[in-house]
């Protein structure tokens, strides 16, 4: 794999059109057959406007020719992991894609000292699976119907790679599976969904209450920021997705905030989104499940999404019960993804699609 000696470096100003070209091709062709791990137009746009936790790089051959693009997204300096997206600029050059993936893994796990690397690939690309497994990647699950390619929705494989010498814990209790088991809970809680309030769009005046929640969140304080929570990071989280942050307000009192939900579209072609719901400790599990169910109906119904998924910490049994009760299924497990109390825990990816109704427990 190393015989090509690919060099990864920051893109020069004159190379920015390469990133724009990746974006245009996805926008016009809407086809993923030439892609490797970089699977959505939303991710391609991130190449043009990388955030503070993203690192865009280009890959060059020994003669200096730029042959690919690498994007490290959600670079987690606390938990030492990162999400990888790769794009080969020479169409259908699968051999070159394998070398690019190897170079990206070496850069993240060896040069930068990260503990874990993960990414996604369409389930239909068997050659991509073979290339990743040859480097030691393991399949950690499949997100059903989470990728839109060639006019249809297909599954997304979740691939994970640990740095050499990093042992995984195998004695953790399994995450709640969700699905049919949670259907009865969701159905029994559904009548309460509108009784106590409603979801409304976030307003700038809500920030003080939201910030207080983060300050009082023991896990967020100790794991993400051991001393303090940067106000600007919380503001980016809730205000950086215009029109996609929602507040649960009690009936008759819009200022009585009892929940926040973020709906972030990750694949605009396939209408796939990630959601994150937070509720204060005063909200019991039944209320949280009902409000989460109402947020799901907002996403799959009002916003016409096809699929939504959520990341839930392995140690957070309460949140697992919320999503299981709201009809989500556990589709993948990111191994050793988050650090807490001097050890690493898994993160479960729970999913639910518009074609699956928890009340009926099956496909429409």
pLDDT surpassing 80 at residue 289 = yes
Q: How confident is the model at residue 20 (pLDDT cuts 50, 70, 90)?
A: low
Instruction: Give the largest CA-CA distance in the chain.
Output: 68
Q: How confident is the model at residue 1 (pLDDT cuts 50, 70, 90)?
A: very low
Question: Is residue 172 assigned to a domain?
Answer: no
Say whether both 8 and 142 belong to one domain: yes
Cβ(67)–Cβ(59) below 8 Å: yes
338 strand-pairing partners: 345
Say whether both 126 and 13 belong to one domain: yes
Q: What is the pLDDT of residue 296?
A: 92
pLDDT surpassing 70 at residue 21 = no
Q: What is the pLDDT of residue 241?
A: 60
Say whether both 98 and 10 belong to one domain: yes
Parallel, antiparallel, or unpaired: how do β-strands 253-267 and 7-9 relate? unpaired
Which DSSP helix (H) or strand (E) runs through 130?
helix 126-134
CATH code at 96?
3.40.630.30
Mean pLDDT of 206-231: 61
Q: How many CA atoms lie within 13 A of 231 on its CB side?
A: 5
Cβ(134)–Cβ(17) below 8 Å: no
Burial of 45 (0-12, 13-18, 19+ CB in 10 A): middle
Look at residues 89, 82, 39 and name the one whose alpha carbon lies nearest to residue 59: 89
* Per-residue pLDDT reduced to its tens digit, 56-98: 888 888 888 888 888 888 888 888 899 998 877 765 566 788 8
pLDDT surpassing 60 at residue 3 = no
Say whether both 286 and 237 belong to one domain: yes
| CA 101 to chain CA mean position, Å | 20
* Per-residue pLDDT reduced to its tens digit, 27-59: 333 333 334 333 344 444 544 455 667 888 888
The rounded distance, in Å, linking the Cα atoms of 18 and 11 is 9
pTM: 0.79
Parallel, antiparallel, or unpaired: how do β-strands 7-9 and 55-60 relate? antiparallel
Q: What is the pLDDT of residue 209?
A: 78
pLDDT surpassing 60 at residue 138 = yes
Say whether both 214 and 294 belong to one domain: yes
pLDDT surpassing 70 at residue 101 = yes
Look at residues 29, 119, 33, 7 and name the one whose alpha carbon lies nearest to residue 71: 119
Question: Is residue 174 assigned to a domain?
Answer: no
Say whether both 287 and 345 belong to one domain: yes
**3-class state of residue 100 by DSSP:** helix
Mean pLDDT of 271-289: 84
**3-class state of residue 284 by DSSP:** coil
Q: How confident is the model at residue 264 (pLDDT cuts 50, 70, 90)?
A: confident
Question: Is residue 173 assigned to a domain?
Answer: no
Mean pLDDT of 107-119: 92
Q: Which domain holds residue 65?
A: 2-162
Question: Is residue 298 assigned to a domain?
Answer: yes
Strands (E), the chain: 7-9, 55-60, 66-76, 81-88, 116-122, 138-149, 152-162, 197-201, 245-250, 253-267, 272-278, 307-313, 329-340, 343-353, 356-357, 362-363
Number of domains in the chain: 2
The rounded distance, in Å, linking the Cα atoms of 362 and 364 is 7
Across the chain, mean pLDDT equals: 76
Q: How confident is the model at residue 157 (pLDDT cuts 50, 70, 90)?
A: very high
pLDDT surpassing 60 at residue 206 = yes
Q: What is the pLDDT of residue 168?
A: 59
Say whether both 199 and 332 belong to one domain: yes
Q: What is the pLDDT of residue 226?
A: 42
Say whether both 148 and 240 belong to one domain: no
Mean pLDDT of 115-136: 90
Which pair of structure tokens corresponds to residue 305? 């999404």
Structure letter (DSSP) for residue 151: T
Say whether both 133 and 206 belong to one domain: no
Say whether both 61 and 115 belong to one domain: yes
* Per-residue pLDDT reduced to its tens digit, 166-190: 655 556 678 888 765 444 444 444 4
Counted residue by residue, the chain has a size of: 364
The rounded distance, in Å, linking the Cα atoms of 274 and 245 is 12
Question: Is residue 342 assigned to a domain?
Answer: yes
Look at residues 154, 76, 137 and name the one whose alpha carbon lies nearest to residue 101: 137
* Better pLDDT: 336 or 255: 336
Angle at 133 between CA 128 and CA 136, to 5 degrees: 140
Question: Is residue 92 assigned to a domain?
Answer: yes
Question: Is residue 167 assigned to a domain?
Answer: no
* Better pLDDT: 254 or 338: 338
Percentage of the chain beyond pLDDT 70 is 71
Say whether both 204 and 335 belong to one domain: yes
Q: What is the pLDDT of residue 288?
A: 86
Question: Is residue 169 assigned to a domain?
Answer: no
Q: What is the pLDDT of residue 252?
A: 60
């Amino acid at each position: 794999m190393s015989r090509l000696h690919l060099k990864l470096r920051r893109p020069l100003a004159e190379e920015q059109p390469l990133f724009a070209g990746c974006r245009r091709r996805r926008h016009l062709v809407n086809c993923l057959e030439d892609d490797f791990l970089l699977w959505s137009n939303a991710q391609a746009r991130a190449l043009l406007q990388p955030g503070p936790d993203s690192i865009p790089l280009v890959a060059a051959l020994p003669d200096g020719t730029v042959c690919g693009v690498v994007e490290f997204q959600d670079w987690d300096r606390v938990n030492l992991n990162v999400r990888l997206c790769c794009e080969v600029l020479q169409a259908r050059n699968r051999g070159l894609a394998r070398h690019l993936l190897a170079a990206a893994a070496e850069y993240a796990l060896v040069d930068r000292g990260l503990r874990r690397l993960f990414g996604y690939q369409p389930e239909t690309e068997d050659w991509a699976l073979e290339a990743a497994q040859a480097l030691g990647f393991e399949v950690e699950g499949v997100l059903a119907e989470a990728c839109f390619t060639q006019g249809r929705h297909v599954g997304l494989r979740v691939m994970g790679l640990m740095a050499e010498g990093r042992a995984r814990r195998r004695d953790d209790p399994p995450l709640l599976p969700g699905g049919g088991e949670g259907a009865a809970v969701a159905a029994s809680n559904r009548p309460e969904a509108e009784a106590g309030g409603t979801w409304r769009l976030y307003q700038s005046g809500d920030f003080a209450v939201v910030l207080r929640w983060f300050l009082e969140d023991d896990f967020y304080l100790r794991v993400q920021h051991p001393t303090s929570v940067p106000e600007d990071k919380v503001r980016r989280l809730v205000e950086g997705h215009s029109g996609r942050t929602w507040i649960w307000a009690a009936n008759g009192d819009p200022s009585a905030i009892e929940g926040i939900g973020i709906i972030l579209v990750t694949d605009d072609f396939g209408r796939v989104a990630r959601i994150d719901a937070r509720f204060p400790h005063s909200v019991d599990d039944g209320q949280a499940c009902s409000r989460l169910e109402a947020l799901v109906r907002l996403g799959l119904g009002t916003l016409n999404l096809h699929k939504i998924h959520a990341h839930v910490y392995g140690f957070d049994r309460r949140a697992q019960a919320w999503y299981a009760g709201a009809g989500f299924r556990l589709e993948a497990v990111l191994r050793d993804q988050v650090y807490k109390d001097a050890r690493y825990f898994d993160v479960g990816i729970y999913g639910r699609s518009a074609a699956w109704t928890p009340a009926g427990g099956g496909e429409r």
